[in-house]
Homo-oligomer: A and B are copies of this chain.
Amino acid sequence: MQEWIWVNGEPGTKVAVQNRGLAYGDGLFETLRISTRGPVLLEYHLDRLQDSARRLLIPIDRSAMMQELNAFPGCRRPGVVKLIYTRGTGGRGYSPANLDHPTRILSSHPEPAWPAWHYEQGVHLHACRTRLGRNPLLAGMKHLNRLEQVLARSEWVDTDAHQEGLVCDTEGNMVEGVMSNLFFVVDEIVQTPLLANCGVAGVLRRWLLEQFQQLRMSVQEVEATPTHLQRASEVFTCNSVYGVWPVASLGELQWAPGSVVRRAQALFQQHWL
C-alpha cells in the first residue's frame, strides 16, 4: 500500500539538520487514527496541538493545519497519520526568538492490527522502573522530548508477556502507560491519574472523561501509587489509535474486564469507528 510524507505541505522525506525538532526536541506531535469515517478525534488533537504550541511559544494557524490535514491523502483512507510540528529551522543556541516558520511533517502509516484478545481478555502491564520527572511547565503536552518514554519502553522486549508498561513519576505516583493513559475503577468511581506534573493528556482520555460525566458516572483525577490498584475492580488503558484495552494483570494483580471498560469500548466504537 502506498504511504505519503509531506514536509510543509509538499511531498518530501527529509528535514534540514538545523531543524529545532532535531536539535532540541523543540516541537510537538500528534498521532491520528484514520477510520473509514475519517480522522478520529480530530478536533481534540488540534485542541491539544494548539494549546501546547501556545505554551511553547510556537506560532500555529489551526485552520491552515486543519486544511492541510484534510488535503493529505493519508487522512482519506483507514490507517494512522503522524503529525510532527516543530519550531522550524534555526541556528545554534537555545533562543526561540525570530523563529516564526514552524515545520509541519505529515506521514501516513498502515492501519495497525492488534490481536482480538487485547480487547477481549485484556493486556498485561509491565511495571516500569523508569520514572518520569515532574515539571508542570511541560506536563500534559505531547512534545518531542520523549527520552523517558524511550527508556521506559526499552524495559521489555517480550511482547507476548507484556503489551504495555505502567510508569510512575519520581515521587512514586502512577502517571500513565508508556503509550497510553490509564483508568481504574475504585468503589464504583472511575479514576485516572492527575497529570499536573507529568504525563501526556491523551485525547481519548479527555473524550472518555467527558462521556463518563455526561452519563452521570462518578469520575475523579487522582494522585495515587500503584498499590491503589489493589482496590480496583477494573483497570483499562486507552489511546486514540487502538482505543480501549482492559488490563488483565500488573505483576501479581489480576482483573477481569468489567462494565466500565466495556462501556468505554462501546462508546469509542460507536462514535469513531
**Cα-based distance from A21 to B86 in the complex (angstroms):** 12
Interface residues in A140-158 by Cβ distance below 8 A to B read: 143-154, 157
Shortest Cβ distance from A24 into B: residue: B146
**Cα-based distance from A93 to B241 in the complex (angstroms):** 12
**Cα-based distance from A103 to B95 in the complex (angstroms):** 25
- Assembly stoichiometry (copies): 2
- Contact: A26 with B150, CB < 8 Å? yes
Residues of B close to A93: CB separation below 8 A: 153, 179
What mask results when residues 116 to 140 of chain A are scored 1 for a CB within 8 Å of chain B, else 0?
0000000000000011111111100
| Interface range for A | 35 or more
19 contacts between A and B (CB under 8 A): A7-B17, A13-B17, A14-B14, A14-B15, A15-B15, A15-B17, A17-B84, A18-B107, A22-B86, A25-B146, A25-B147, A56-B151, A92-B109, A97-B154, A97-B157, A133-B135, A133-B137, A134-B170, A145-B145
